[in-house]
């Protein structure tokens, strides 16, 4: 009877051994897993989680724009790239142009009631465009108060042309704010956006979100987040932004109005 060779016996034993158990699944919502965000719920356009506000930052600090920077507070303007404001200036006279002709047809002896609806529609469009190009605030600011460790977010929402447009100011604790990069790709917006998720204290459960910078490259936006985190940590940061000029989408009428109490609180230290 022939004996089996040692190499054959080793191959047979290796074949008979049970397979290695699969590696333990990584928990979701961690920075180790590039497919998930640590924030819950995850943003629909999520791209990357940024370092925590109190952690060591990996990007060099640099703001794209800044309105005010001192030892107590900092204000960052947020100019929207979602709307081509020059296009609204062009559309405004075009929306007004048909109104005289509609009015002429309405005063005709053979009046058609449908002209009333058409005229109201064009008037509504014209009013909406007029309010948007003249009074809608462009650089909706965000203020970071280093002494109070709070963030003040100026939000303005456009609505129906015949009703007041709402302005709200949200106040958050900086410790509850977490940075994330999101990436949109549609007919209106295409590119990265620096978003801030506000979570319940000590958790990653998101209760609100706001944009800190609307559009830009991923590296400049990481530098903006790094700048804000290092500033709130009390460290020295560059004072000069990348862009210093006022954008072309300026508003003829400055409609950014902070309530007196919040304006004083966001620009002073406790006890002042």
Residue 226 has what pLDDT? 96
Q: Which residues contact 214 (CB under 8 A, 6 or more apart)?
A: 78, 79, 80, 81, 82, 193
Question: Could you tell me if 170 and 156 are in contact, meaning their C-beta atoms sit under 8 angstroms apart?
Answer: no
Residue 229 has what pLDDT? 97
> In the 3-class helix/strand/coil scheme, how is 220-238 assigned residue by residue?
HHHHHHHHHHHHHCCCCCC
Residue 250 has what pLDDT? 59
Residue 2 has what pLDDT? 45
Residue 227 has what pLDDT? 97
E strand or H helix that includes residue 9 = helix 6-16
Closest CA to 64 of 50, 52, 49, 77: 77
DSSP state for residue 197 in the 8-state scheme:
E
E strand or H helix that includes residue 74 = strand 73-76
Q: Which residues contact 223 (CB under 8 A, 6 or more apart)?
A: 59, 60, 61, 62, 63
Phi first, then psi: give them for residue 158, nearest 5 degrees.
-80, 145
Residue 21 has what pLDDT? 40
Residue 88 has what pLDDT? 61
Q: How far, in Å, are 79, 104, 146, 155, 272 from residue 66 at the CA level?
A: 11, 51, 15, 17, 24
Ordered by start, the domain boundaries in the chain are 46-80+141-245+258-266, 85-134
Rounded Cα–Cα distance for residues 29 and 230 (Å): 25
Question: Could you tell me if 180 and 197 are in contact, meaning their C-beta atoms sit under 8 angstroms apart?
Answer: yes
Closest CA to 220 of 112, 64, 52: 64
What global pTM score does this model have? Answer: 0.73
Residue 196 has what pLDDT? 96
Residue 222 has what pLDDT? 95
Residue 29 has what pLDDT? 40
Residue 18 has what pLDDT? 43
pLDDT tens, residue order, the chain (272 aa): 445 455 555 445 444 444 434 333 334 444 444 568 999 999 988 999 999 998 889 899 999 999 999 999 999 998 765 555 555 666 666 666 666 666 666 666 666 667 667 777 777 777 767 777 777 777 789 999 999 999 999 988 776 767 677 889 999 999 999 999 998 876 566 789 999 999 999 999 999 999 998 877 889 999 999 999 999 999 999 999 998 876 655 566 677 889 999 999 999 999 87
């Amino acid at each position: 009877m022939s004996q089996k060779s040692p190499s054959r016996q080793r191959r047979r034993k290796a074949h008979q051994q049970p397979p290695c158990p699969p590696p333990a699944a990584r928990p979701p919502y961690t920075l180790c897993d590039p497919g998930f965000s640590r924030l819950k719920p995850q943003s629909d356009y999520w791209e990357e989680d940024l370092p925590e506000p109190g952690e060591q930052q990996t990007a060099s600090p640099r703001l794209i724009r800044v309105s005010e920077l001192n030892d107590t507070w900092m204000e960052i303007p947020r100019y929207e790239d979602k709307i081509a404001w020059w296009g609204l200036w062009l559309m405004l006279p075009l929306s007004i142009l048909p109104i005289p002709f509609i009015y002429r047809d309405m005063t005709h002896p053979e009046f058609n009631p449908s002209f009333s609806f058409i005229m109201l529609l064009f008037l509504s469009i014209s009013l909406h465009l007029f309010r948007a190009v003249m009074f809608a605030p462009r650089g909706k600011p965000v203020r970071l108060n280093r002494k109070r460790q709070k963030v003040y977010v100026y939000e303005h929402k456009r609505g129906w042309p015949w009703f007041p447009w709402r302005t709200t100011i949200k106040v958050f604790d900086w410790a509850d704010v977490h940075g994330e990069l999101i990436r949109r790709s549609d007919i209106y917006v295409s590119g990265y956006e620096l978003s801030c998720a506000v979570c319940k204290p000590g958790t990653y459960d998101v209760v609100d979100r706001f944009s800190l910078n609307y559009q830009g490259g991923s590296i400049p936006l990481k530098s903006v987040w790094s700048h804000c985190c290092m500033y709130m940590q009390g460290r020295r940061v560059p004072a000069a932004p990348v862009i210093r000029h006022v954008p072309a989408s300026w508003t003829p009428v400055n409609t950014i109005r902070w309530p007196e109490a919040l304006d004083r609180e966001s620009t002073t230290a406790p006890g002042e």
